[in-house]
Structure 1
Amino acid sequence: MAQWLHMSQLIPCLPDDTVNNLYPPPAFPIEVRHFLADWIESQRWDDFVLEKVEMESQARALLEQTISMLQTMAQQNSNVVDRMKLMAISRNMTRFQQQPLQFGVMVRDILRKERVLLSTPPPPMSNPQQYQQYPNRESSFLNLQDVDHLVLKVLQLQEVRKQKHQLQEDLNWERQNFEGLRCPTQPNGLDPSSSEIQKRKNQIQDMEFNVKVLFTKSFELLKECVDCLDQCQTRLISRLKTWRWEQHKATIGHPFDDNLNPLQTWCEQLVGVNGKLRQELMLIGEPVPELQERLGKLLQVLIQSSLVVEKQPPQVIKTQSKFSTTVRYLLGEKVAPGKPVMLKAQIINEIQARNLAVVPADNVGELINNSAILEHNTATKSTCATFRNMSIKKIKRADRKGSESVTEEKFALLFSAEITITGCDTPYRIQMISLPVVVIVHGSQDNNALATIIWDCAFSEPDRMPFVVPERVPWRMMYSTLNSKFTSEVQTQHGLDHYNQHFLAQKIFDKPDFAEDYSNMMVSWAQFNKEVLPGRPFTFWQWFEGVMELTKKHLKTYWSEGLIFGFIGKQHLHLILKDRPNGTFLLRFSDSEIGGITIAYVSASENGGQKIQNIQPFSKRDLEIRSLGDRIRDISHITHLYPEFPKDEVFKKFYSEPQAPSIGGYIPVSLRTRVGMEAGSATSSPPPIADSPQSFSAHHFPQPFSPQESITPDNPCPTDMDFNPTTPVVYSEHISPGNNIDMELESILQTLEP
């Protein structure tokens, strides 16, 4: 109802004649627009055209709904005057029952005129205070306003042409009569010097002048319409490119509205306007090659730009594996009936993608099931070709340079067809390429191939030459990408904080003692996924992706509720835990293993002081056997989640219910995690669960650590440090040889896994 809200503010500023023309009584009085505003704006009136007789049933349904809603409102209205008026309006609307398309077109034109009025400057007002009521323009109307201006201008052109035609016919009639009047040999002939002859002659001259004026006006309007069409189409092409760019960015988690219906309506309106202007050009009476050529080129560009890959193929494709993709043609309803349109797909390499003006002759890969028919869906009004079982049988790779791997080579799918549009004699070749894809032959290449895609989606420029990407990017861009990908992949609103960001920067740059701002430091592709991390057998991306996968599969709720501290370095760990009582713990992602989460906690040292212990990380496999919540319950050494939340109040909802006694008489067996000295005690049991948990908001942990203040020459943080002279701390990377389970059931279960 946004459009009517603006119009209701604008109407007091408009002349009465304008309002009456906009909402013509009794056909469609302003009361209908007011009472049914929300419903009216939710319907697709732009589809109605008088020539589309097949839409008559849809128009009739909308008309009947309108009448029914008005009658319902009348019955429910307590005001007698309003009730009678609404009933009268509903009766008047029954006049359209024989011609429902006229009703649909009328409402369509009313909405268009509203948008035009909303886009024009406010009229002069005698009272300056009225300007305060004038509505602010919203950019959401911009595209529709462009088309509406163009449509109204075309209607004006058609009206001028009709006036010229009528005047020309009147002129021809007057000339014929004049010839008979001035001929003395005719029975009714007049003397050529008579006043009547002179009067008729002057009248004919005036009509000839008016015809010329209308011809000139018609020509000028036609040129204006072509200019306006050109501008409107340029904006459409730009919006289509933006849609594709947003689709590209969606790979790394950016928001993306995939609804193509508004763009399809825009395309259909422009191709319709182009056809009307070509008709007007033929009817103008004189050839205008310049305008004819411009309209032809505009039509060609529009037809060729309306092919869109609506559902992209997977950007990492394994050979011999099935995948699907959907290509949509936005001018599907304009395709000439008869021969079906067959869309074909082929795989192209980077060099071929840079030269799409030439049809690729060399096949760099063999595709199976690479053709599909463009089919129109009357329910969704979309025309799509769906490739459901496509597969890459084999791929031919280019010569690699230096250390470049096969997972860094990018390809694309090229979709093409020959198509004929109704009203056009010449068929057109249309084509569109997919987003870049990486082709792999084994699942072990998936992670590195995904890194190539992430880098491409995150850091490529719009309108780049395929598939150029920068070699280095600022850390702020890299962190933004990691955060966006993490939150979208895990499907959480809880993103990475600045402590996580600082540790990730320390890790990728291998600068654990650097406390300054990393934002403008440049990260290279090699640092991201070519070079292994110092002392590790994996790259930064492989490690980060493993954490992301673990969180998505097993830790989503824990992370979303702020129970996991996440990415934190050992030095930072010492700083925030050094003053905490024994049993205080936090959950952090392992920085030594791919896809692991560990528990760091404060415990008593042998000399009576304190030390920080790190339990061996739990992997995806571990958490499949026993959940993180149950493992936390099992470990009696940990009692309070940092900074001071009792663990049983925080994690109670994650604990599994006690196992029910077996019906068959067997003694039930349970798994239980033991750590360190607990492993030798078979009698220890988990602490009791609190009966009345207090309110808890882990998102607001107090954070005493500031990355910029933590690690400086004046504030060193060595591996071994004293909290105070009497409480020495000894850091232990892994204090447990493993997560020992009663009766060694865990190892047995692992051997039984398929």
Structure 2
Amino acid sequence: MSQWKQIQQLDIKFLEQVDYFYDDNFPMELRQVLANWIESQDWETASNHESMATVLFNNFLIQLERQCSQEQNFLHRHNLKRIFHQIQVKYKTNPLHMAAVICNCLREERRILSTASMQEQGPLEKSMQNSATLEKLKVLDNKVAVIRSSVQMLDQGVKYLEDMQDDFDFRYKTLQLRDPVERNSLTMKQEVTTLQEILNRLDFKRKEILSKIADVIKEIDTLISSQLNPELKEWKRRQQIACIGGPVLIGLDQLQNWFTLTAQSLFQIKRQLDKLGELILKVTYETFMCLKQPCMPTHPQKPLIIKTQVQFTTKVRLLVKLPEVDYQLKVKTTFDKDLPPGKVNRQFFILTNNTKVMDVEESTGCLSVEFRHLGPLSVTEELHSLNFEAMLMLQGLDIDLETCSLPLVVISNVSQLPGGWASVMWYNLLTDDPKNLGFFSNPLRASWSQLSEVLSWQFSSFAGRGLNKEQLNMLGDKLLGQHASYNDCQVSWSKFWKENIPGKSFSFWLWLDSILDLIKKHLLPVWIDGYIMGFVSKEMERALLKEKEPGTFLLRFSESHLGGITFTWVEQDENGEPKFISVEPYTKNRLNALPIADIIRDYKVIADGVVPENPLKFLYPDIPKDEAFGKHYNSQQNKGLISANVSDF
């Protein structure tokens, strides 16, 4: 079954996550009509090779044009033609970007499929889901609706007051035109008394409306401070978790709706107060936020890392949608505006204009702006921040808006990516303070229950399949030593990234990241199928194989090499006892020449006087080798002998 068909069969909560990352950059309509063709292309490689990206871009346009000509439905054909022209204009000069966007979408789909297939959720994912329960949404919807209704009622009250005022003005002016000789008449005295009564009612009604306005403003203040701002803070926390591989972000459009309705109510109250000759208004800049965190197009799965001299993008969004604001808001961006005391200002600068006008996004209707070209800069091991400022002038008010990105890491060479990503993960896992740029001066510890969930997300996000409980237990053994229970164990930043594994020349994260890179570039289909056990100790490996048929084998990642995979099979010695044979790990250099499936198919053991044969018969526990790997074989079998040094790796 194709990946797209699997996606369409997911529950609604997962379909909402899919809907989040399909936008104007790559509309979901294209994913639907070109599903099979898209999945058959190597977007991963194309995203790093311009010539291949250009070829795929041109082929993409040919496929889409063909689909347009075959579409019978007039409206669908019209929409496809419109999208065709948008894509052509958007990516004509930057096909690499399109390849990266599609590659990212396919990765996110695989991650969601992996998440949907997992029976258990970790504490972080559960907390992310519990923060946006259906009941809370209903309560907020109702509260915003009640405030809107109250403001509409106030409008009616102000209108009634205006009518009373007009009636008073008419009576008063009419009375002023009467003959002065009649002023002492009984009729005149009665009319004056009536005018006084109207004036008293006007005064009472004004005070009544002002009191109701004060009550509504108090309700709005409570709504913003106790519900909307905390909900936005929780969304930003979910954004942090999503940055490091967690559940895909949803719910921002709903937040925008709440903030917009609330802002509309406030400005409506302002107009009411203007009519009453007073002004009471409260405005929050929390509705101005960083939607897309800084990210290099070549590494969409690793946001918040930027490289010197390399373009990256970031996007800010205003969560209040008012027609009179559209196309007027200018945003200025600066680096490290609020550095901690004693920090030296880094030499960041923007290569183009650092002030841009926000545009209305066609797909969402929201106001947003992207900054793209930034750098060069000096490099240290500190966290940095990108600030955004704007001035909103509306209905006679000057409202200062300000927000900032999450702390980001700067590198000067791609070899620093593992360390940069380790910093991004650790920070976003353990704190939600966006201005804590001194976090790593005294980094917090992480519990294993937190860290293990994030590690599983890395494999789900980067490689389309998360880690099961047994694999995570093995990683816990490697990082913490053998424990009956890991959940309460605390892991330091130094142990995770800086300290070498005992007896090795590399740290735990560097070892794990090299495995992720190996899977991503050379083992992805086999990993997604679940045929790589991967994380299993030598002791457990032998325990699993010793009772199996001779020729049963399993694949695991090397513990002695960075980015290596080996396989071990079981045979019987002369006494009928199990004998375990492992091969020298295959690294990316060796896998560049031959895929792992072909290595398994064509593997031979060379022995004196014996015809070479393939000792690999069954993938653990008992799957025939060709049944497991057959669909990944190349059509042409290798005629040479594929062998490796047999040892204990």
C-alpha distance 179-421 of structure 1, shift in aligned 2 (>3 A): closer
Change (3 A) 1:345 1:272: same
1:388 and 2:388 equivalent?
no
**Secondary structure in 2 matching 1:365:** coil
State the 1:639 CA deviation: 0.9
- Structure 1 pair 517–149 and aligned structure 2 pair: CA distance change class (3 A): same
Q: 339, 344, 347: which one pairs with 2:332? A: 344
Amino acid at match of 2:351: I
Q: Does structure 1 residue 490 correspond to structure 2 residue 479?
A: no
* Structure 2 match to 1:168: 165
User: Partner of 1:140 in structure 2?
Assistant: 137
Distance 2:560 2:515 in 1: 11
Measured in 2, the distance between the counterparts of 1:583 and 1:331 equals: 65
Cα RMSD, aligned residues only: 3.3
1:473 aligns with 2:473: no
Counterpart Cα distance in 1 of 2:645 and 2:325: 77
Aligned CA distance change for structure 1 residues 229 and 148 (closer, same or farther; 3 Å)? same
Which amino acid letter does the alignment assign opposite residue 252 of structure 1?
I
**For residues 36-55 of structure 1, what are the structure 2 equivalents within 5 Å?**
none
Q: Please give the secondary structure, in 1, of the residue aligned with 2:423.
A: helix
Equivalent positions of 1:679-690 (< 5 A) are none
Pick aligned residue for 1:315 from 286, 304, 312: 304
Instruction: Tell me if 1:326 matches 2:315.
Output: yes
Match of 1:686? none
Q: In the alignment, what sits opposite 1:552? A: 520
Q: Which deviates further from its counterpart, 210-219 or 631-640?
A: 210-219
Aligned 8 A contact 2:568 2:583 in 1: yes
Say which of 592, 595, 599 aligns to 2:560: 592
Q: State the distance in 2 between where 1:460 and 1:568 align.
A: 32
Matches within 5 A, 1:504-543: 504-509=475-480, 511=481, 514-543=482-511
Higher relative contact order (CA 8 A, sep 6+): 2
What's the secondary structure of 2:393's corresponding residue?
coil
C-alpha offsets along residues 106-145 of structure 1, whole Å, 9 cap, x if unaligned?
xxxxxxxxxxxxxxxxxxxxxxxxxxxxxx9844344443
Report the CA distance shift for 1:592/1:515 in structure 2 as closer, same or farther (over 3 A): same
Distance 1:533 1:241, change over 3 A: same
| CA displacement 1:389-447 (0-9 Å, x = unmatched) | 22x222264xxxxxxxx3xx211222234x24231253x44332212211122222221
| Cα displacement string for residues 278-325 of structure 1 (whole angstroms, at most 9, x for unaligned residues) | 22223225x5xxxx4x51xx22x24x6424343433422221222222
Confirm whether residue 451 of structure 1 aligns to residue 422 of structure 2.
yes
Which aligned pairs between 1:66-465 and structure 2 lie closer than 5 A? 138-174=135-171, 185-186=181-182, 192=186, 203-204=194-195, 206-234=197-225, 235-257=227-249, 260-285=252-277, 287=278, 292=279, 295=281, 298-299=282-283, 301-302=284-285, 305-313=287-295, 314-331=303-320, 342-348=330-336, 352-353=338-339, 362=345, 364-369=347-352, 371-377=354-360, 379-380=362-363, 381-390=365-374, 392-395=375-378, 397=380, 406=381, 409-417=382-390, 419-426=391-398, 428-461=399-432, 465=436
Instruction: List per-residue Cα deviations over 1:541-579 (Å, max 9, x = no partner).
Output: 011111112222232332233212120111111222222
Letter in 2 for 1:484: W
Equivalent AA in structure 1 for residue 494 of structure 2: A
Residue pairs, 1:633-672, within 5 angstroms? 633-635=601-603, 636-658=614-636, 670-672=639-641
CA distance in 1, matches of 2:449, 2:592: 35
Any conservation in 1 of the 2:379–2:411 contact (CA below 8 Å)?
Answer: no
What amino acid is aligned across from residue 164 of structure 1 in structure 2? Answer: L
Q: Which residue of 2 aligns with 1:617?
A: 585
Q: Which amino acid aligns with 2:209?
A: S
* Structure 2: gaps (5+ residues): 1-132, 296-302, 604-613
**Which residue among 633, 638, 642 is the counterpart of 1:673?**
642
CA distance in 2, matches of 1:265, 1:140: 12
The structure having more radius of gyration, on CA atoms, is 1
Distance 2:470 2:292 in 1: 39
Name 2:29's counterpart in structure 1.
none
The amino acid across from 2:615 in the alignment is H
Matching residue's letter, 2:389: S
**Partner AA of 2:383 in structure 1:** K
Give yes or no for contact 1:366–1:395 (8 Å, CA) kept in 2.
no
Change in CA separation of 1:179 and 1:138 when aligned onto 2, cut-off 3 Å: same
Query: Aligned with 1:638: secondary structure?
Result: coil
Post-superposition Cα deviations, 1:433-464, rounded to whole Å, max 9, x if no partner, equal 21221112222222112111111122224567
**SS at structure 2 position matched to 1:322:** coil
- Aligned counterpart, 1:733: 648
Task: Report the secondary structure of 2:155's partner residue.
Answer: helix
Distance 2:483 2:229 in 1: 47
- Which of residues 460, 469, 472 is equivalent to 1:501? 472
Q: Give secondary structure in 2 for the equivalent of 1:421.
A: strand
Q: Percent identity?
A: 26
Q: Deviations over 1:148-179 (max 9, x none)?
A: 22222111112112212222333444556678
Q: For 1:701-716, what aligned pairs fall within 5 Å after superposition? A: none
2:22 — aligned with what?
A: none
Residue type of the alignment partner of 1:348: D
Cα separation, 1, equivalents of 2:176 and 2:356 = 64
| AA in 2 matched with 1:412 | S
Q: Secondary structure at the match of 2:635?
A: coil
Matched to 1:365, the amino acid is: F
Report the alpha carbon displacement of residue 341 of structure 1 after superposing the two structures with TM: 5.3
Tell me if the contact between 2:379 and 2:410 (Cα under 8 Å) persists in the aligned partners.
no
Q: Does the Cα contact within 8 Å between 2:409 and 2:424 map onto a contact in 1?
A: yes
Residue in 1 that maps onto 2:595: 627
Partner Cα distance (2:585, 2:616) in 1:
15
Name the TM-score, length of structure 1 as normaliser.
0.60
Residues 405 and 434, structure 2, Cα contact 8 Å, conserved in 1: no
CA distance in structure 1 between the aligned counterparts of 2:554 and 2:632, rounded to whole angstroms: 16
Alpha-carbon distance in 2 for matches of 1:541, 1:150: 51
Tell me the CA shift for residue 482 of structure 1.
0.6
- The 3-state SS of whatever aligns with 2:312 is strand
**Structure 2 residue matching 1:568: 3-state secondary structure:** coil
Letter in 2 for 1:315: L
Task: Report how far residue 227 of structure 1 moved.
Answer: 1.3
Question: Normalising by structure 2, what TM-score?
Answer: 0.69
3-state DSSP class of the match of 1:255? Answer: coil
Q: Indicate the SS of the match to 1:538.
A: coil
Q: Quick one: distance in 2 between partners of 1:471 and 1:578?
A: 43
Counterparts of 1:361 and 1:592 in 2: how far apart (Å)?
Answer: 41
Q: Per-residue displacement from partner, 1:607-650 (whole Å, max 9, x unpaired)?
A: 55321111111222322322221111123112112222222222
Q: Where does structure 1 lack aligned partners over 5 or more consecutive residues?
A: 1-135, 398-405, 660-668, 678-731, 735-754
Equivalent residue of 1:597, what SS?
A: strand
Amino acid at match of 1:499: E
